Amino acid sequence: MSSRHTTTIAGSLIAASFSAVMILSFTAVADDQGPGSSKGGKAVDPAPAGVKPTTTLPGRISVDNSSHKTSITATVKNEGTKESGGIRLLVVGFDGLRVKGVQGCSAMAEKDLPKGSNSGFVCDVGNLAAGKSKSYAVDATFDLSRTGKICLPVQDSAGKKTFWQQGPVPFGASNPSPNAPTTPLLLDTTNKPVSPGGDELPRTGAGSDLLPLGAAGAALVSLGAAGLWWTQRRPRRQPS
C-alpha cells in the first residue's frame, strides 16, 4: 500500500471520528420539551361568557448541569368561543426554579411577587381571539439541589381577577444525572435533589451513551493521527 493511500485512510478516520463526536454531543444537549400540558391547572374566578383561558407548560425540560440554565415555553390559549378581551399572563418561579427573563414581558417588583415566590414576570397578552394562543420563551435557572416550581396565572388586564392558574407545579427528576451534560426534568414531578456524594452516582441518561462512544471516537483520532505520522516518517523502500 502506498504512503499516499495510507495517509488518505488515516485522514478519513480522523474526519469520521470528529463527525461522530460532534453529532453525539449535539444530540446530548438538544432541548426537546415535548408536547405542552395543562397539568396542575384549574379555573379560579369566572371568566366572561364564551371565554375560556388556559395555559400549558412543556412536559419535559433540560437543565444544564454546569450553568443550571434552562428554557421553558409558556403558552396561554383561549379555548372559548368569544374573544378574551384584555388579559395578562404571569410567569412566577418558586424554590429552586428562578425565572430570569420572559421575552416581551416585564419583571415584577419584589413587593408585588406572590407569597413564597422568588421571581416573576408580567406578560400583556392583550385580546386573544377564540381558539388562538400565544407562547412566551422563558429563561430560567434550576438549582438541582432543591425542588422547583413554576406558576402561570391568567388574569384580567387590571390583575383583579384570576381566570385560570396552572401551578405552582413542580419540575423534577426522581433519578438525577449529575455526571451527564444536562438533567431532564419532567412536569408535575417533585425533584429528588442530588445527595452529598452525588457525583458518585452511576452515569445515566445521555451521558452514559455519550461516554463510551466519545472515548471510542477519541481512540480513533489518536489512531488516525499516529497512522498519519507513521506513514509520513516511514522511510521509503529503496529500489533494488
Give the side-chain half-sphere CA count within 13 A for 80: 21
State the Cα–Cα distance between residues 218 and 206, nearest whole angstrom: 18
C-alpha dihedral, 109 to 110 to 116 to 119, nearest 10°? 60
Strands (E), 80-116: 86-95, 97-102, 106-107
- Residue pair 14/221 in contact (Cβ under 8 Å)? The answer is yes
One-letter amino acid at 33 equals Q
pTM: predicted TM-score of the whole model, two decimal places: 0.69
pLDDT (tens digit, 0 to 9) for every residue of the chain, 240 residues total? 555 544 444 444 444 444 443 333 333 333 566 689 999 999 999 999 999 999 999 999 999 999 999 999 999 999 999 999 999 999 999 999 999 999 999 999 999 999 999 999 999 999 999 999 999 999 999 999 999 999 999 999 999 999 999 999 999 997 777 788 999 999 999 998 765 444 433 333 333 333 233 333 333 233 333 333 323 334 444 454
User: Which SS3 state, helix, strand or coil, does residue 116 take?
Assistant: coil
